[in-house]
Amino acid sequence: MSTGNRKKTACVTGGNGYIASALIKMLLERGYAVKTTVRKPDDMEKNSHLKDLQTLGSLEIFRADLDEDGSFDDAVAGCDYAFLVAAPVNLHTKNPEKELIEPAVRGTLNVMRSCVKAGTVRRVVLTSSAASVSSRPQLQGDGLVLDEDSWSDVEYLRAHKPAGPWGYPVSKVLLEKEAYRFSEEHGISLVTVCPVLTVGAAPAPTVRTSVPNCLSLLSGDEAEFAVLDAIERDAGCVPLVHVDDLCRAELFVAEEDAAAGRYICCSLNTTITDLARFLTDNYPQYGVKTNLLSGEQLQKPRVHLSSEKLVKEGFGFRYTTLDDMYDDMVEYGKVLGILPC
């Protein structure tokens, strides 16, 4: 892992986030020195896990804000890799253009400018979302396979403003495209990972998305279930990946010289109906809240999000069934307070 006598160094933005916390842990376990950023380093309610992770290896914590030009300079300085994980997740804003879309693009370019200044970054790995792939009105019929050539329809979303957080997929499409434009102008090696609903346990003590959505049939949380239901209607399936596989994929595309472009990260395409059946069989102690089901849920996936590109280049998923996905997530749900202990 060392380069000469020096460890490889990686910057992970947004260290108090769910995915970022798991990525930091994996990088430290693999011998990397890690620098991470948070907006408020003294907020122990959000950052206590970072203190714990410092016992695993060299982890420095920096204050940075996506809205502040140059605030990522110190965190990125001297790094071999930069993992851009931090992003606005203001899903319920009444003004998505000003409060979600513009800040997402501006923040991404802010970090990338710091990468140019650093002069040491071999590759930038941008964590986007499958929301940039699957929000398309023309998803008709069954058996459609979406790959990296698919883009969510920004014009349609802006014009029709469909129910649900339409600004989120728009923000992901635009930040990806702006990041690529910037990387080509400045000669930066950029790879984008588009994860689907990400599940499983991570060091972060709070999780705002995905995990509470996927535990909603056990918790009975109607608002979280409504998000899961909207994802199925929007995407034509419930696509899942375990956070451990996602982090392994991020390291894979960072370290593989030949990696290029976008990578969808999805190991299972399922439905809410299958999810309810699985949870009923495996977690009867929670009394699965089938009353949340409207009868309009899919019986089988209409759409499959494909990670064939990632697999063909040599990556292997370890978590490919609902058993695998939920094995540690139910316990994590108890830690988070989503499920009763």
**Three-state DSSP state, 230:** helix
β 197-199/190-195 pair status: unpaired
Lowest mean pLDDT among 44-53, 70-79, 328-337: 44-53
Show the domains of the chain with their CATH numbers: 9-206+240-266+304-313 (3.40.50.720)
Token pair belonging to 34: 């890690």
Residue 4 has pLDDT above 70, yes or no: no
In whole angstroms, what is the distance from residue 305 CA to residue 239 CA?
7
- Rg over CA atoms, the chain: 19
What pLDDT is recorded for position 2? 44
| Displacement of CA 134 from its chain's centroid (Å) | 15
In whole angstroms, what is the distance from residue 214 CA to residue 225 CA?
8
| Interior/surface letters 262-299, b for 16+ CB within 10 angstroms, e for the rest | bbbbbbbbbbbbbbbebbeeebeebebbeebeeeebbe
Residues 6+ apart with CB under 8 A from 239: 130, 134, 196, 197, 266, 268, 269, 270, 305
Q: What is the pLDDT of residues 245-256, one digit of tens each?
A: 999 999 999 999
What pLDDT is recorded for position 5? 58
Q: What is the pLDDT of residues 23-45, one digit of tens each?
A: 999 999 999 999 999 999 888 88
Sheet with 197-199, strands from edge to edge, namely 197-199, 238-242, 268-270
Task: State residue 210 phi and psi, 5-degree precision.
Answer: 60, -65
In whole angstroms, what is the distance from residue 2 CA to residue 18 CA?
27
% of the chain residues with pLDDT over 90: 83
